[in-house]
Structure 1
Amino acid sequence: MSGSYWEAVRETGLSVPSDRPLDELTAELTRMLGDPDPEIREALAHPALSTWIAQGVYDDLLSGLGDGMAAGLVVGLGDADSDSVFRRSYSALVLGACIARDNERPLVPGGKVLEWGDRVATWLLRERDLRGFVVGKGWAHAVAHGADALATLASSPHVATPELTVILDVVADRVLAPVAAAYGQGEPDRLARATMAVLRRDLVPLTVVEPWVARIGASTAVPAPDAGNAEAFLRALYLQLALGPHPPEVRADLLLTLVEVLRRRNADLRRR
Protein backbone atom coordinates (compact mmCIF):
# COMPACT_ATOMS: atom_id res chain seq x y z
CA MET A 1 0.00 0.00 0.00
CA SER A 2 1.06 3.61 -0.46
CA GLY A 3 2.54 5.69 2.29
CA SER A 4 -0.62 7.79 2.24
CA TYR A 5 -2.59 4.78 3.50
CA TRP A 6 -0.45 4.50 6.61
CA GLU A 7 -0.35 8.25 7.06
CA ALA A 8 -4.13 8.10 7.25
CA VAL A 9 -3.86 5.32 9.83
CA ARG A 10 -1.50 7.45 11.89
CA GLU A 11 -3.93 10.37 11.75
CA THR A 12 -6.60 8.15 13.32
CA GLY A 13 -4.35 7.58 16.34
CA LEU A 14 -3.10 4.27 14.91
CA SER A 15 -6.49 2.61 15.10
CA VAL A 16 -6.49 -0.80 13.43
CA PRO A 17 -7.93 -0.42 9.91
CA SER A 18 -11.09 -2.39 9.25
CA ASP A 19 -10.74 -2.55 5.48
CA ARG A 20 -7.98 -5.18 5.40
CA PRO A 21 -7.25 -8.43 7.29
CA LEU A 22 -4.95 -8.11 10.29
CA ASP A 23 -2.51 -10.69 8.93
CA GLU A 24 -2.12 -8.68 5.72
CA LEU A 25 -1.56 -5.46 7.66
CA THR A 26 0.97 -7.18 9.91
CA ALA A 27 2.93 -8.63 7.01
CA GLU A 28 3.15 -5.21 5.39
CA LEU A 29 4.22 -3.50 8.62
CA THR A 30 6.85 -6.16 9.16
CA ARG A 31 8.34 -5.44 5.74
CA MET A 32 8.21 -1.74 6.54
CA LEU A 33 10.38 -2.30 9.62
CA GLY A 34 13.29 -2.79 7.24
CA ASP A 35 12.62 0.25 5.09
CA PRO A 36 15.57 2.66 4.87
CA ASP A 37 13.16 5.59 4.94
CA PRO A 38 12.82 6.62 8.61
CA GLU A 39 9.37 8.08 7.97
CA ILE A 40 8.16 4.61 7.04
CA ARG A 41 10.16 2.60 9.57
CA GLU A 42 10.31 4.85 12.64
CA ALA A 43 7.19 6.95 12.25
CA LEU A 44 4.75 4.36 10.89
CA ALA A 45 5.71 0.68 11.12
CA HIS A 46 7.28 0.55 14.57
CA PRO A 47 4.68 2.79 16.28
CA ALA A 48 1.79 0.88 14.70
CA LEU A 49 3.02 -2.56 15.72
CA SER A 50 4.05 -1.47 19.21
CA THR A 51 0.75 0.32 19.80
CA TRP A 52 -1.34 -2.61 18.64
CA ILE A 53 0.67 -4.99 20.82
CA ALA A 54 0.21 -2.78 23.87
CA GLN A 55 -3.53 -2.46 23.15
CA GLY A 56 -3.96 -6.23 23.07
CA VAL A 57 -4.71 -6.49 19.36
CA TYR A 58 -2.28 -9.40 19.08
CA ASP A 59 -3.02 -11.08 22.41
CA ASP A 60 -4.27 -14.27 20.74
CA LEU A 61 -1.50 -14.12 18.14
CA LEU A 62 1.41 -12.97 20.27
CA SER A 63 3.44 -16.16 19.98
CA GLY A 64 3.36 -16.10 16.20
CA LEU A 65 4.09 -12.38 16.02
CA GLY A 66 7.07 -12.75 18.34
CA ASP A 67 8.38 -15.64 16.27
CA GLY A 68 8.12 -13.48 13.17
CA MET A 69 10.12 -10.72 14.84
CA ALA A 70 12.71 -13.24 16.03
CA ALA A 71 13.08 -14.41 12.42
CA GLY A 72 13.77 -10.80 11.45
CA LEU A 73 16.83 -10.78 13.70
CA VAL A 74 18.78 -12.94 11.25
CA VAL A 75 17.86 -11.15 8.03
CA GLY A 76 21.22 -10.13 6.58
CA LEU A 77 23.01 -10.89 9.84
CA GLY A 78 26.74 -10.56 9.26
CA ASP A 79 26.41 -7.59 6.96
CA ALA A 80 28.01 -4.32 7.96
CA ASP A 81 26.94 -0.91 6.69
CA SER A 82 23.97 -2.21 4.73
CA ASP A 83 20.28 -1.38 4.99
CA SER A 84 19.53 -4.86 6.34
CA VAL A 85 20.38 -3.62 9.83
CA PHE A 86 17.08 -1.76 10.02
CA ARG A 87 15.02 -4.94 9.81
CA ARG A 88 17.10 -6.61 12.50
CA SER A 89 17.22 -3.65 14.85
CA TYR A 90 13.53 -2.77 14.65
CA SER A 91 12.53 -6.42 14.89
CA ALA A 92 14.32 -6.42 18.25
CA LEU A 93 12.26 -3.43 19.38
CA VAL A 94 8.98 -5.05 18.40
CA LEU A 95 10.01 -8.36 19.95
CA GLY A 96 10.70 -6.42 23.14
CA ALA A 97 7.15 -5.05 22.92
CA CYS A 98 5.85 -8.64 22.68
CA ILE A 99 7.77 -9.56 25.82
CA ALA A 100 6.51 -6.42 27.58
CA ARG A 101 2.93 -7.40 26.78
CA ASP A 102 3.48 -10.85 28.25
CA ASN A 103 5.04 -9.21 31.32
CA GLU A 104 1.72 -7.42 31.88
CA ARG A 105 -0.40 -10.53 31.52
CA PRO A 106 0.61 -14.14 30.78
CA LEU A 107 -0.08 -14.80 27.12
CA VAL A 108 2.65 -17.18 25.94
CA PRO A 109 4.46 -20.09 27.60
CA GLY A 110 7.53 -19.25 29.63
CA GLY A 111 9.64 -21.38 27.34
CA LYS A 112 8.66 -19.21 24.41
CA VAL A 113 9.77 -16.03 26.17
CA LEU A 114 13.09 -17.66 27.05
CA GLU A 115 13.47 -18.73 23.41
CA TRP A 116 12.92 -15.14 22.31
CA GLY A 117 15.47 -13.98 24.85
CA ASP A 118 18.01 -16.43 23.51
CA ARG A 119 17.37 -15.21 19.96
CA VAL A 120 17.87 -11.57 21.01
CA ALA A 121 21.08 -12.37 22.90
CA THR A 122 22.52 -14.42 20.04
CA TRP A 123 21.72 -11.69 17.53
CA LEU A 124 23.10 -8.88 19.69
CA LEU A 125 26.45 -10.61 20.12
CA ARG A 126 26.71 -11.47 16.42
CA GLU A 127 25.61 -8.09 15.10
CA ARG A 128 28.35 -6.37 13.07
CA ASP A 129 26.55 -3.21 12.03
CA LEU A 130 26.98 -1.00 15.08
CA ARG A 131 26.02 2.33 13.56
CA GLY A 132 23.84 4.62 15.62
CA PHE A 133 22.33 7.38 13.53
CA VAL A 134 22.67 6.95 9.77
CA VAL A 135 22.55 10.20 7.85
CA GLY A 136 19.54 10.30 5.56
CA LYS A 137 18.14 7.03 6.94
CA GLY A 138 17.61 7.66 10.63
CA TRP A 139 18.43 5.42 13.55
CA ALA A 140 19.91 1.96 13.12
CA HIS A 141 21.00 1.68 16.77
CA ALA A 142 21.17 -2.11 16.93
CA VAL A 143 23.11 -2.16 20.21
CA ALA A 144 20.71 0.25 21.90
CA HIS A 145 17.63 -1.56 20.64
CA GLY A 146 19.09 -4.91 21.69
CA ALA A 147 19.81 -3.52 25.14
CA ASP A 148 16.22 -2.27 25.39
CA ALA A 149 14.92 -5.74 24.56
CA LEU A 150 17.20 -7.28 27.20
CA ALA A 151 15.94 -4.78 29.78
CA THR A 152 12.36 -5.82 29.08
CA LEU A 153 13.33 -9.48 29.18
CA ALA A 154 14.96 -8.97 32.59
CA SER A 155 11.56 -7.94 33.97
CA SER A 156 9.83 -11.08 32.74
CA PRO A 157 8.38 -13.34 35.43
CA HIS A 158 9.66 -16.25 33.37
CA VAL A 159 13.25 -15.13 33.92
CA ALA A 160 15.00 -16.28 37.09
CA THR A 161 18.53 -16.03 38.49
CA PRO A 162 20.25 -18.22 35.86
CA GLU A 163 18.73 -16.25 32.97
CA LEU A 164 19.45 -12.92 34.64
CA THR A 165 23.07 -13.95 35.02
CA VAL A 166 23.18 -14.77 31.31
CA ILE A 167 21.81 -11.31 30.50
CA LEU A 168 24.66 -9.78 32.51
CA ASP A 169 27.14 -11.89 30.59
CA VAL A 170 25.64 -10.81 27.27
CA VAL A 171 25.92 -7.16 28.30
CA ALA A 172 29.57 -7.65 29.31
CA ASP A 173 30.39 -9.50 26.09
CA ARG A 174 28.83 -6.71 24.02
CA VAL A 175 30.65 -4.02 26.01
CA LEU A 176 33.99 -5.77 25.68
CA ALA A 177 33.68 -6.87 22.06
CA PRO A 178 36.32 -5.40 19.72
CA VAL A 179 34.89 -2.56 17.65
CA ALA A 180 36.21 -0.30 14.93
CA ALA A 181 34.81 2.81 16.59
CA ALA A 182 33.68 3.52 20.12
CA TYR A 183 29.98 3.78 20.86
CA GLY A 184 29.00 7.42 20.72
CA GLN A 185 25.22 7.66 20.65
CA GLY A 186 24.00 6.47 24.01
CA GLU A 187 24.71 2.76 23.69
CA PRO A 188 26.59 2.46 27.03
CA ASP A 189 23.66 4.14 28.80
CA ARG A 190 21.17 1.72 27.27
CA LEU A 191 23.34 -1.27 28.20
CA ALA A 192 23.60 0.12 31.73
CA ARG A 193 19.81 0.44 31.81
CA ALA A 194 19.50 -3.23 30.91
CA THR A 195 21.91 -4.03 33.73
CA MET A 196 19.81 -2.01 36.16
CA ALA A 197 16.74 -4.00 35.11
CA VAL A 198 18.61 -7.15 36.10
CA LEU A 199 19.83 -5.73 39.40
CA ARG A 200 16.38 -4.47 40.39
CA ARG A 201 15.08 -8.03 40.40
CA ASP A 202 17.24 -8.58 43.51
CA LEU A 203 17.89 -12.16 42.43
CA VAL A 204 21.54 -12.01 41.36
CA PRO A 205 23.81 -11.95 44.44
CA LEU A 206 26.69 -9.55 44.94
CA THR A 207 29.06 -12.54 44.78
CA VAL A 208 28.13 -12.81 41.10
CA VAL A 209 27.84 -9.11 40.28
CA GLU A 210 31.20 -8.03 41.74
CA PRO A 211 33.31 -10.42 39.61
CA TRP A 212 31.22 -9.38 36.62
CA VAL A 213 32.11 -5.72 37.21
CA ALA A 214 35.74 -6.68 37.77
CA ARG A 215 35.81 -8.46 34.42
CA ILE A 216 34.66 -5.32 32.62
CA GLY A 217 36.96 -3.15 34.70
CA ALA A 218 39.96 -5.30 33.84
CA SER A 219 39.74 -4.45 30.15
CA THR A 220 42.72 -2.53 28.85
CA ALA A 221 42.86 1.10 29.90
CA VAL A 222 44.94 2.22 26.90
CA PRO A 223 43.13 4.41 24.36
CA ALA A 224 41.16 1.98 22.21
CA PRO A 225 37.52 1.88 21.10
CA ASP A 226 36.58 -1.19 23.13
CA ALA A 227 38.38 0.15 26.22
CA GLY A 228 36.45 3.39 25.77
CA ASN A 229 33.22 1.43 25.63
CA ALA A 230 34.04 -0.29 28.91
CA GLU A 231 34.86 3.02 30.57
CA ALA A 232 31.68 4.66 29.28
CA PHE A 233 29.59 1.72 30.42
CA LEU A 234 31.06 1.66 33.94
CA ARG A 235 30.46 5.37 34.32
CA ALA A 236 26.89 5.06 33.05
CA LEU A 237 26.20 2.17 35.41
CA TYR A 238 27.62 4.11 38.35
CA LEU A 239 25.45 7.12 37.55
CA GLN A 240 22.26 5.10 37.14
CA LEU A 241 22.95 3.12 40.29
CA ALA A 242 23.71 6.27 42.30
CA LEU A 243 20.87 8.46 41.03
CA GLY A 244 18.24 6.17 39.55
CA PRO A 245 14.93 5.24 41.18
CA HIS A 246 14.12 1.89 42.76
CA PRO A 247 17.65 1.06 43.92
CA PRO A 248 18.49 -2.65 44.10
CA GLU A 249 19.51 -4.31 47.33
CA VAL A 250 23.15 -4.47 46.21
CA ARG A 251 23.29 -0.72 45.57
CA ALA A 252 25.53 0.38 48.45
CA ASP A 253 28.11 -2.41 48.07
CA LEU A 254 28.10 -2.23 44.29
CA LEU A 255 28.67 1.53 44.32
CA LEU A 256 31.81 0.96 46.38
CA THR A 257 32.96 -1.68 43.91
CA LEU A 258 32.36 0.61 40.95
CA VAL A 259 34.18 3.49 42.61
CA GLU A 260 37.21 1.30 43.20
CA VAL A 261 37.22 -0.01 39.64
CA LEU A 262 36.86 3.49 38.21
CA ARG A 263 39.58 4.77 40.53
CA ARG A 264 42.01 2.15 39.26
CA ARG A 265 41.13 2.89 35.65
CA ASN A 266 41.58 6.64 36.17
CA ALA A 267 44.62 6.73 38.38
CA ASP A 268 45.96 9.77 36.54
CA LEU A 269 43.13 11.87 37.97
CA ARG A 270 44.49 11.35 41.49
CA ARG A 271 47.90 12.74 40.54
CA ARG A 272 46.59 16.10 39.36
Structure 2
Amino acid sequence: MKITSLILLTSLTFFTHTGLANECQQQITSEDLKSLKTNDFTIKDDKKRNNFAIILLNCLSHPDPKIRDEIVYQAYSAWLRNNELEIKTLHTLLNKLQTILTSKSIDSNGFEQPFAALVLSEVVRVDRITPYMTEQERQTIVDVSTRFMSNISDYRGFNEQEGWRHNVAHTADIFLQLALNKQVTKAQHQQILTAIKQQITPTNTFYTFGEPKRLAMPVVYIILQNKLSANEFANWLTSVTSPAPFENWQNVYQSEQGLAKLHNTRSFIHNLYAITSNSKNPKLKAIQASLQQALKRVD
Protein backbone atom coordinates (compact mmCIF):
# COMPACT_ATOMS: atom_id res chain seq x y z
CA MET A 1 0.00 0.00 0.00
CA LYS A 2 1.22 3.49 -0.80
CA ILE A 3 0.63 6.07 1.96
CA THR A 4 0.87 9.59 0.59
CA SER A 5 2.38 12.43 2.56
CA LEU A 6 0.93 12.38 6.08
CA ILE A 7 0.97 16.13 6.29
CA LEU A 8 -0.69 16.81 2.95
CA LEU A 9 -3.31 19.57 3.27
CA THR A 10 -6.19 18.09 1.29
CA SER A 11 -9.89 18.71 1.54
CA LEU A 12 -12.28 15.95 2.53
CA THR A 13 -15.85 17.00 1.83
CA PHE A 14 -17.27 14.82 4.59
CA PHE A 15 -14.91 16.28 7.25
CA THR A 16 -16.72 19.44 8.34
CA HIS A 17 -18.07 18.71 11.80
CA THR A 18 -15.27 19.37 14.31
CA GLY A 19 -11.82 20.84 14.73
CA LEU A 20 -10.62 17.32 15.42
CA ALA A 21 -11.92 16.16 12.08
CA ASN A 22 -10.08 19.05 10.44
CA GLU A 23 -6.83 17.83 12.00
CA CYS A 24 -7.51 14.42 10.47
CA GLN A 25 -8.25 15.90 7.04
CA GLN A 26 -5.08 17.97 7.11
CA GLN A 27 -2.89 14.93 7.64
CA ILE A 28 -4.60 11.99 5.93
CA THR A 29 -6.30 11.93 2.55
CA SER A 30 -9.55 10.13 1.83
CA GLU A 31 -7.64 7.94 -0.60
CA ASP A 32 -5.23 6.90 2.17
CA LEU A 33 -8.12 5.87 4.42
CA LYS A 34 -9.92 3.89 1.73
CA SER A 35 -6.68 2.29 0.57
CA LEU A 36 -5.88 1.27 4.13
CA LYS A 37 -8.96 -0.93 4.37
CA THR A 38 -8.73 -2.17 0.79
CA ASN A 39 -5.22 -3.44 1.55
CA ASP A 40 -6.23 -5.13 4.82
CA PHE A 41 -4.47 -2.40 6.82
CA THR A 42 -1.09 -3.45 5.44
CA ILE A 43 1.69 -0.85 5.49
CA LYS A 44 4.89 -2.74 4.75
CA ASP A 45 7.31 -0.04 5.84
CA ASP A 46 7.65 -0.29 9.64
CA LYS A 47 8.45 3.38 10.17
CA LYS A 48 5.51 4.57 8.06
CA ARG A 49 3.15 2.15 9.82
CA ASN A 50 4.18 3.32 13.27
CA ASN A 51 4.01 7.00 12.31
CA PHE A 52 0.62 6.48 10.67
CA ALA A 53 -0.71 4.74 13.80
CA ILE A 54 -0.01 7.87 15.85
CA ILE A 55 -1.42 10.32 13.32
CA LEU A 56 -4.56 8.20 12.84
CA LEU A 57 -5.61 9.10 16.41
CA ASN A 58 -6.80 12.41 14.95
CA CYS A 59 -9.54 10.46 13.15
CA LEU A 60 -11.17 8.94 16.25
CA SER A 61 -13.89 11.61 16.06
CA HIS A 62 -14.59 11.18 12.35
CA PRO A 63 -18.34 11.79 11.83
CA ASP A 64 -18.64 9.03 9.22
CA PRO A 65 -19.19 5.70 11.04
CA LYS A 66 -17.78 3.73 8.12
CA ILE A 67 -14.49 5.57 8.58
CA ARG A 68 -14.52 5.63 12.37
CA ASP A 69 -15.73 2.06 12.99
CA GLU A 70 -14.64 0.14 9.92
CA ILE A 71 -11.31 1.78 9.15
CA VAL A 72 -9.86 3.65 12.15
CA TYR A 73 -10.74 1.14 14.87
CA GLN A 74 -10.18 -1.91 12.69
CA ALA A 75 -6.76 -0.62 11.66
CA TYR A 76 -5.63 -0.41 15.28
CA SER A 77 -7.11 -3.81 16.05
CA ALA A 78 -5.27 -5.38 13.11
CA TRP A 79 -1.90 -3.79 13.91
CA LEU A 80 -2.08 -4.45 17.64
CA ARG A 81 -3.33 -8.01 17.39
CA ASN A 82 -0.67 -8.85 14.81
CA ASN A 83 2.11 -7.28 16.90
CA GLU A 84 2.96 -4.75 14.18
CA LEU A 85 3.61 -1.69 16.34
CA GLU A 86 6.82 -0.89 18.21
CA ILE A 87 6.94 -0.59 22.01
CA LYS A 88 7.70 3.12 21.63
CA THR A 89 4.53 3.51 19.57
CA LEU A 90 2.51 1.57 22.14
CA HIS A 91 3.63 3.96 24.87
CA THR A 92 2.80 6.96 22.70
CA LEU A 93 -0.68 5.60 22.00
CA LEU A 94 -1.12 4.77 25.66
CA ASN A 95 -0.31 8.33 26.74
CA LYS A 96 -2.30 10.07 24.02
CA LEU A 97 -5.41 7.95 24.53
CA GLN A 98 -5.32 8.49 28.27
CA THR A 99 -5.00 12.22 27.70
CA ILE A 100 -8.17 12.11 25.61
CA LEU A 101 -10.02 10.35 28.42
CA THR A 102 -8.78 12.71 31.13
CA SER A 103 -9.37 15.95 29.21
CA LYS A 104 -12.60 17.70 28.36
CA SER A 105 -13.31 16.63 24.79
CA ILE A 106 -13.72 19.32 22.16
CA ASP A 107 -15.68 16.86 20.02
CA SER A 108 -19.25 18.17 20.34
CA ASN A 109 -20.54 15.07 18.53
CA GLY A 110 -19.27 12.80 21.31
CA PHE A 111 -17.34 10.28 19.22
CA GLU A 112 -13.75 10.92 20.31
CA GLN A 113 -13.78 9.62 23.89
CA PRO A 114 -15.73 6.37 23.39
CA PHE A 115 -13.50 5.45 20.45
CA ALA A 116 -10.40 6.42 22.39
CA ALA A 117 -11.60 3.98 25.07
CA LEU A 118 -12.17 1.26 22.47
CA VAL A 119 -8.72 1.67 20.94
CA LEU A 120 -7.19 1.87 24.43
CA SER A 121 -8.71 -1.54 25.21
CA GLU A 122 -6.67 -2.95 22.31
CA VAL A 123 -3.49 -1.22 23.53
CA VAL A 124 -4.09 -2.65 27.01
CA ARG A 125 -4.72 -6.09 25.52
CA VAL A 126 -1.16 -6.20 24.18
CA ASP A 127 0.19 -5.83 27.73
CA ARG A 128 -1.65 -8.90 29.01
CA ILE A 129 -0.24 -11.03 26.18
CA THR A 130 3.26 -9.55 26.05
CA PRO A 131 3.80 -7.30 29.09
CA TYR A 132 5.39 -3.97 28.25
CA MET A 133 3.97 -1.66 30.94
CA THR A 134 5.51 -0.85 34.29
CA GLU A 135 3.48 -1.37 37.45
CA GLN A 136 2.95 2.38 37.64
CA GLU A 137 1.72 2.55 34.04
CA ARG A 138 -0.73 -0.23 34.78
CA GLN A 139 -1.97 1.62 37.85
CA THR A 140 -2.37 4.79 35.80
CA ILE A 141 -4.50 2.90 33.28
CA VAL A 142 -6.70 1.62 36.10
CA ASP A 143 -6.96 5.12 37.57
CA VAL A 144 -7.78 6.81 34.27
CA SER A 145 -10.29 4.21 33.07
CA THR A 146 -12.12 3.87 36.38
CA ARG A 147 -12.36 7.64 36.76
CA PHE A 148 -13.66 7.96 33.22
CA MET A 149 -16.23 5.20 33.76
CA SER A 150 -17.43 6.77 37.00
CA ASN A 151 -17.95 10.15 35.31
CA ILE A 152 -19.73 9.00 32.14
CA SER A 153 -22.92 10.96 31.50
CA ASP A 154 -23.32 10.36 27.75
CA TYR A 155 -25.25 7.10 27.37
CA ARG A 156 -25.88 7.26 23.64
CA GLY A 157 -25.39 3.85 22.03
CA PHE A 158 -26.19 3.30 18.36
CA ASN A 159 -27.73 5.66 15.82
CA GLU A 160 -28.41 4.52 12.26
CA GLN A 161 -27.08 7.74 10.77
CA GLU A 162 -24.14 8.35 13.12
CA GLY A 163 -23.15 4.85 14.23
CA TRP A 164 -21.87 3.94 17.69
CA ARG A 165 -20.73 5.97 20.67
CA HIS A 166 -21.18 3.48 23.56
CA ASN A 167 -19.04 5.03 26.29
CA VAL A 168 -19.95 2.50 28.99
CA ALA A 169 -19.43 -0.61 26.86
CA HIS A 170 -16.13 0.58 25.38
CA THR A 171 -14.75 1.45 28.81
CA ALA A 172 -15.90 -1.94 30.08
CA ASP A 173 -13.75 -3.42 27.29
CA ILE A 174 -10.70 -1.80 28.92
CA PHE A 175 -11.76 -3.40 32.21
CA LEU A 176 -12.08 -6.78 30.52
CA GLN A 177 -8.48 -6.63 29.28
CA LEU A 178 -7.30 -5.56 32.72
CA ALA A 179 -9.30 -8.36 34.35
CA LEU A 180 -7.61 -10.88 32.04
CA ASN A 181 -4.16 -9.52 32.89
CA LYS A 182 -2.46 -11.59 35.59
CA GLN A 183 -0.30 -8.58 36.53
CA VAL A 184 -3.32 -6.62 37.74
CA THR A 185 -3.65 -6.72 41.53
CA LYS A 186 -6.52 -7.43 43.89
CA ALA A 187 -6.67 -3.76 44.87
CA GLN A 188 -6.95 -2.83 41.20
CA HIS A 189 -9.73 -5.41 40.74
CA GLN A 190 -11.61 -3.77 43.60
CA GLN A 191 -11.11 -0.37 42.00
CA ILE A 192 -12.59 -1.68 38.75
CA LEU A 193 -15.55 -3.27 40.56
CA THR A 194 -16.31 0.03 42.28
CA ALA A 195 -16.39 1.83 38.92
CA ILE A 196 -18.59 -0.87 37.37
CA LYS A 197 -21.04 -0.61 40.26
CA GLN A 198 -21.38 3.14 39.66
CA GLN A 199 -22.59 2.58 36.09
CA ILE A 200 -24.82 -0.48 36.54
CA THR A 201 -27.77 1.83 37.26
CA PRO A 202 -27.32 5.31 35.77
CA THR A 203 -30.06 7.74 36.76
CA ASN A 204 -33.07 7.81 34.41
CA THR A 205 -31.29 5.79 31.71
CA PHE A 206 -32.61 2.44 30.50
CA TYR A 207 -29.79 0.42 28.96
CA THR A 208 -30.84 -0.92 25.53
CA PHE A 209 -27.52 -1.44 23.70
CA GLY A 210 -26.07 -4.45 25.54
CA GLU A 211 -24.26 -2.48 28.25
CA PRO A 212 -25.15 -4.84 31.16
CA LYS A 213 -23.46 -7.80 29.46
CA ARG A 214 -20.36 -5.73 28.65
CA LEU A 215 -20.23 -4.64 32.30
CA ALA A 216 -20.65 -8.24 33.46
CA MET A 217 -17.79 -9.68 31.40
CA PRO A 218 -14.89 -8.10 33.34
CA VAL A 219 -16.59 -9.15 36.59
CA VAL A 220 -16.54 -12.78 35.43
CA TYR A 221 -12.82 -12.65 34.69
CA ILE A 222 -12.02 -10.87 37.94
CA ILE A 223 -13.68 -13.82 39.69
CA LEU A 224 -11.68 -16.26 37.61
CA GLN A 225 -8.43 -14.60 38.69
CA ASN A 226 -9.34 -15.81 42.21
CA LYS A 227 -7.90 -12.79 44.01
CA LEU A 228 -11.24 -11.89 45.60
CA SER A 229 -12.77 -14.22 48.18
CA ALA A 230 -16.31 -15.56 47.74
CA ASN A 231 -17.39 -13.39 50.69
CA GLU A 232 -15.88 -10.27 49.15
CA PHE A 233 -17.74 -10.91 45.92
CA ALA A 234 -20.98 -11.63 47.81
CA ASN A 235 -20.65 -8.34 49.70
CA TRP A 236 -20.08 -6.47 46.42
CA LEU A 237 -23.11 -8.15 44.89
CA THR A 238 -25.22 -7.21 47.90
CA SER A 239 -24.21 -3.57 47.44
CA VAL A 240 -25.05 -3.77 43.71
CA THR A 241 -28.57 -5.04 44.47
CA SER A 242 -29.31 -2.49 47.17
CA PRO A 243 -32.51 -0.52 46.36
CA ALA A 244 -30.96 2.73 47.64
CA PRO A 245 -31.86 5.57 47.33
CA PHE A 246 -35.25 3.84 47.54
CA GLU A 247 -36.35 2.29 50.81
CA ASN A 248 -37.09 -1.05 49.15
CA TRP A 249 -37.55 -2.55 45.69
CA GLN A 250 -41.34 -2.19 45.89
CA ASN A 251 -40.98 1.58 45.99
CA VAL A 252 -39.21 1.79 42.64
CA TYR A 253 -42.44 1.44 40.66
CA GLN A 254 -43.51 5.03 41.33
CA SER A 255 -40.89 6.82 39.24
CA GLU A 256 -38.94 6.59 36.00
CA GLN A 257 -35.72 6.70 38.02
CA GLY A 258 -36.86 3.72 40.07
CA LEU A 259 -37.95 1.72 37.05
CA ALA A 260 -34.64 2.41 35.31
CA LYS A 261 -32.77 1.25 38.40
CA LEU A 262 -34.79 -1.97 38.54
CA HIS A 263 -34.45 -2.63 34.81
CA ASN A 264 -30.69 -2.09 34.74
CA THR A 265 -29.94 -3.97 37.97
CA ARG A 266 -32.00 -6.96 36.84
CA SER A 267 -30.35 -6.96 33.44
CA PHE A 268 -26.85 -6.90 34.94
CA ILE A 269 -27.56 -9.73 37.41
CA HIS A 270 -29.33 -11.84 34.77
CA ASN A 271 -26.39 -11.42 32.39
CA LEU A 272 -23.90 -12.35 35.09
CA TYR A 273 -25.97 -15.40 35.95
CA ALA A 274 -26.44 -16.43 32.30
CA ILE A 275 -22.69 -16.25 31.64
CA THR A 276 -21.68 -18.27 34.71
CA SER A 277 -24.56 -20.58 35.74
CA ASN A 278 -23.69 -23.54 33.49
CA SER A 279 -19.94 -23.33 34.00
CA LYS A 280 -18.10 -26.24 35.55
CA ASN A 281 -15.29 -23.94 36.70
CA PRO A 282 -15.15 -24.21 40.53
CA LYS A 283 -14.53 -20.46 40.89
CA LEU A 284 -17.71 -19.66 38.98
CA LYS A 285 -19.68 -22.43 40.68
CA ALA A 286 -18.73 -20.92 44.04
CA ILE A 287 -20.58 -17.67 43.30
CA GLN A 288 -23.87 -19.25 42.19
CA ALA A 289 -25.49 -19.14 45.63
CA SER A 290 -24.74 -15.41 45.91
CA LEU A 291 -26.07 -14.82 42.39
CA GLN A 292 -29.29 -16.72 43.10
CA GLN A 293 -29.84 -14.64 46.23
CA ALA A 294 -29.22 -11.49 44.20
CA LEU A 295 -31.78 -12.62 41.63
CA LYS A 296 -34.36 -13.14 44.37
CA ARG A 297 -33.74 -9.64 45.70
CA VAL A 298 -34.50 -7.94 42.37
CA ASP A 299 -37.04 -10.34 40.76
User: What TM-score does the superposition give when structure 2 sets the normalisation length?
Assistant: 0.80
Which residue is equivalent to 1:52? 79
The match for 1:270 is none
The alignment status of 1:264 with 2:297, answered yes or no, reads: yes
The CA deviation at 1:63 is 1.5
Deviation at 1:17, TM superposition (A): 5.7
**How big is the shift at 1:157?**
2.6
Deviation at 1:50, TM superposition (A): 1.9
* Aligned mate of 1:39, from 55, 58, 66: 66
Q: 1:121 to 1:19 in 2, by over 3 A?
A: closer
Moved over 3 A (4+): 17-24, 74-79
Q: Is 1:9–1:17's contact at 8 Å kept on the other side of the alignment?
A: no
Which of 133, 136, 159 is residue 161 of structure 2 equivalent to? Answer: 136
Residue 78 of structure 1: CA displacement? Answer: 10
The answer for the alignment partner of 1:71 in structure 2 is 99
Letter in 1 for 2:172: A
1:129-170: per-residue Cα shift (whole Å, max 9, x none)?
Answer: 111102311011111111111010112232111111111111
Give the corresponding residue for 2:127: 102
Question: Residues of 2 paired with 1:25 and 1:57: CA distance?
Answer: 12
The aligned runs of 1:83-94 (5 Å cut-off) are 83=109, 85-94=110-119
Q: Distance in 1 between matches of 2:147 and 2:119?
A: 17
- % same residue: 22
Aligned residues: 260
* Aligned twin of 1:269: none
| Aligned equivalent of 1:173, options 198, 204, 211 | 198
Contact kept? 2:145, 2:171, Cα under 8 Å: yes
Pairwise CA RMSD: 2.1
* Offset of residue 74 of structure 1: 3.5
- Whole-angstrom CA distance in 2 between matches of 1:226 and 1:248: 31
1:175-234 superposed Cα distances (whole Å, 9 cap, x missing partner)? 1342x3211110000001111111111111011100111111112532421332111101
Say whether residues 1:235 and 2:270 are aligned partners: yes
Partner of 1:247: 281
Tell me by how many angstroms 1:248 deviates: 5.4
The amino acid that maps onto 1:160 is T
Q: 1:144 & 1:66 partners in 2: Cα distance?
A: 19
Larger Rg: 2
CA–CA distance in 1 between the matches of 2:292 and 2:149?
28
Q: 5+ residue gaps in structure 1?
A: 267-272
8 A contact 2:101–2:113 mirrored in 1: yes
Contact 1:96/1:148, CA 8 A, preserved across alignment:
yes
- The DSSP-based 3-state class of the residue aligned with 1:73 is helix
